[in-house]
Amino acid sequence: MDFTNTIWSLLPPLIAIILALITKEVYSSLFIGIFAGGLLFAGFNLSVAMNHIFVDGMIGQLSDSWNVGILVFLVVLGSMVMLMNRAGGSAAFGKWAVKHVKTKAGAQIATIILGVLIFIDDYFNCLTVGSVMRPVTDKQGISREKLAYLIDATAAPICIISPISSWAAAVTGFVDGANGLSLFVKAIPYNFYALLTLVMMFTITFLKFDYCSMNLAELNHMVENKNKKKKDAASLTGAEDQPHPPISQNGKVIHLVLPIVSLIICCVIGMIYTGGFFSGADFVTAFSNSDASVGLVYGSVVALIITIVFFVATKVLSFNDCMNAIPEGFKSMVPAILVLTFAWTLKAMTDSLGASEYVGGVVARIAANGAVMSLIPALVFLVGIFLAFATGTSWGTFGILIPIVVNLFGGDVNNELMIIAISACMAGAVCGDHCSPISDTTIMASAGAGCEHIRHVSTQLPYVITVATVSLISYVIAGFVRNWAICLLIAVVLMILTLVVIKKVTVGKRNEASESLAS
């Protein structure tokens, strides 16, 4: 029996996702999904399945130049974070932040703003924001789950509304026969999921509340902090607090700021270099043509060298200490690398079964019905969520759905409904990717925050569903109204009202949970 290009092609990622959410164990869940995909592809011939899983899948993905570049970037960034910790830069920044960022809300706002400012690439965003803000949020008693959500929500959702980003380059590359960048810019005001995610973060921060599993994570973290303080107060020897190897006592804030600034500047230069900026291309064109994987490797390696030279020159670490920190940084990234490897392999199994083509065909058949044209944006949004959630990739979802939408409307760049539908595709892809346990950006956010991956997924899922629901209603309205200013205003008001209602409904339960945990 041939399982390719059928609904069965969606089974492997669904198995992995459901098992991960049930068992809270991601490695075995991903592997079972991979094995199921291999068996379906091979028609349950075990030897063929094993060859497909390990040769075509795992080895094939690990020999892909893009994937290898991302892994190298991960390792280098892990080494830089370890160096900053050993040099005392992170500790010094934490002490500085205690004096300047004095509230929990302030720490969250600072995290959001930094995430918005680093709009170039989602991988870069996740790991950089995490390494910078972790000391600040820890000091203010913010759980790692909440930090992971803030990082994840300012990664892909910000990149997808930034014309100068690796994501904009990817989207424009999927639009044939039209000015892709112009379409991207026109679609930004209709990207309700990305824009409402920003509204969501600021609203829950200013209203000072959380709900569902995120609220429980915050309460648990609060109790753990109280217990830790009691334990620290009872232990006066200080021996337990001595790190091994010891952290430099000469570290200053500059020993965190300069490496991060160097990383940002070098990565930007690396990306535009790969896009031909130094060969005559303008800045925007260079970004559109950039190879993010290679550019991030170039930038991060140069930044690592600058960091080592700076630390040795300022005598906060010896050269040997710097070299010893590099493999330790590598080790800290092993869990993320392992999950990424499994996620990429699962995607290879799904691709070989033709899952994207199957979903694309379903969308095309639905879109062929002229009676539902005004509902096309909402339908595309839902399909984009499902496809990205099941495959763990936004870019793959763009590649399938955007050409279908463009062809459906004949590539008419002046057709407002086509622009709304393209934006719905991007929004749905980001939404599905945002909450998928097998998404690489979700994995990166977990790594950046130092949060257990499944805990990050399960705590942010209710927030994603909330924004997705309001976005879906907004796309239904937009399909008929077709005016971005009116639709965006309605969407923002709906989002804020929804959160106000949720706060009123959950405040009693939250107080009960607080009393229960406190006792």
The amino acid that residue 9 corresponds to is S
Query: 162 — alpha (psi -120 to 50), left (phi > 0) or beta?
Result: beta
Angle at 25 between CA 213 and CA 390, to 5 degrees: 80
pLDDT at 242 over 60: no
CB burial string 22-57: b at 16+ within 10 A, e below = eeeebeebbbbbbbbbbbbbbeeeeeebeebbeebb
More confident residue, 165 or 476: 476
3-state SS of 100-161?
A: HCCCHHHHHHHHHHHHHHCCCCHHHHHHHHHHHHHHHHHHCCCCHHHHHHHHHHCCHHHHCC
pLDDT at 391 over 90: no
pLDDT tens digits for 21-60?
787 777 888 899 899 999 999 999 999 999 999 999 999 9
CA distance to 121, 214, 272, 275, per residue, from 268 (Å): 10, 34, 6, 11
pLDDT at 516 over 90: no
Question: Would you place residue 239 in the very low, low, confident or very high pLDDT band (cuts 50, 70, 90)?
Answer: very low
Least confident of 52-66, 202-216, 498-512: 498-512
pLDDT tens digits for 7-23?
888 888 888 878 877 87
How high is the pLDDT of residue 120?
64
How high is the pLDDT of residue 318?
92
- Do 214 and 462 form a contact (C-beta atoms < 8 A)? yes
- Do 287 and 111 form a contact (C-beta atoms < 8 A)? no
- Do 141 and 222 form a contact (C-beta atoms < 8 A)? yes
- Do 192 and 377 form a contact (C-beta atoms < 8 A)? no
How high is the pLDDT of residue 150?
93
CA distance to 98, 234, 518, per residue, from 227 (Å): 20, 11, 11
How high is the pLDDT of residue 241?
40
* Burial label, 100 (beta-carbon count in 10 A; 0-12, 13-18, 19+): exposed
- Do 451 and 147 form a contact (C-beta atoms < 8 A)? yes
- List, in order, residues 6 or more apart from 267 with CB less than 8 Å away: 120, 121, 124, 295, 296, 298, 299, 300, 303
Dmax over Cα atoms in the chain, in whole Å? Answer: 76
Least confident of 71-80, 267-276, 396-405: 396-405
pLDDT tens digits for 88-120?
887 787 777 777 787 888 889 988 988 887 776
Give the Cα separation of 3 and 29 in Å (integer).
21
Residue whose entry in the numeric block shows the structure tokens 């309460």: 219
Give the Cα separation of 35 and 45 in Å (integer).
12
- List, in order, residues 6 or more apart from 319 with CB less than 8 Å away: 308, 312
Give the Cα separation of 502 and 209 in Å (integer).
10
- Do 125 and 159 form a contact (C-beta atoms < 8 A)? yes
